[in-house]
């Protein structure tokens, strides 16, 4: 989970980017290795993870534990009920390699920090293999998803 207070400064510059990339009209089913995210606390913050198949999502929780969870578990009590999926056009995009990287981290623990070592950095690490990256905001994760997966929009998960 990442508090948007850190991203408030980027909201004016990135607000247009977020609205362009987030589409609530089309619903999709994620592919293995798709990047997923949900809004927390009415859009003040977001949470991200990687879809690994069989209705499981690998994420870094607020205790620093990397775990595979159901969509219901991924949506914390503070989350809205929508999960967004990385897409190219109207089709979900993912990567077996990304899913494999995510699964290889399950059971490990990281020194979680809301701002400097959070779920977005973990999810970016699944995309790149570099878990010590500086992508601590959803905006940076989305840019990496575009580079790695070709994701150019985000659609609702049809679940």
Q: What is the pTM of this model?
A: 0.86
Topology, domain 2-9+28-157 = endopeptidase fold (from Nostoc punctiforme) (3.90.1720)
The enclosing H or E element of 38 equals: strand 35-40
CA–CA dist 120, 83 (Å, integer)? 15
CA–CA dist 71, 22 (Å, integer)? 19
* pLDDT tens-digit map of 45-76: 899 999 999 999 999 999 999 999 999 999 98
Q: Residue ranges of the domains in the chain?
A: 2-9+28-157
Using a pLDDT cut of 90, give the percent of the chain over it. 72
Burial of residue 113 (CB within 10 Å: 0-12, 13-18, 19+) is exposed
The pLDDT score that the predictor gives to residue 19 is: 38
């Amino acid at each position: 989970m990442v508090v948007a207070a850190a991203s408030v400064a980027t909201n004016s510059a990135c607000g247009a980017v977020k609205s362009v990339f987030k589409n609530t009209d089309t619903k999709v089913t994620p592919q293995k290795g798709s990047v997923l995210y949900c809004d927390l606390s009415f859009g003040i913050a977001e949470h991200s993870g990687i879809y690994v198949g069989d209705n499981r999502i690998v994420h870094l929780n607020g205790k620093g534990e990397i775990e595979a969870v159901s969509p219901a578990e991924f949506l914390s009590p503070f989350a809205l009920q929508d999960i967004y999926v990385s897409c190219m056009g109207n089709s979900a995009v993912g990567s077996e390699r990304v899913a494999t990287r995510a699964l290889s981290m399950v059971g490990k623990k990281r020194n979680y920090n809301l701002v400097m070592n959070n779920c977005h950095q973990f999810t970016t690490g699944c995309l790149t293999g570099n878990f010590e990256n500086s992508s601590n905001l959803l905006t940076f994760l989305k840019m990496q998803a575009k580079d790695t997966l070709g994701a150019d929009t985000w659609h609702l998960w049809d679940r």
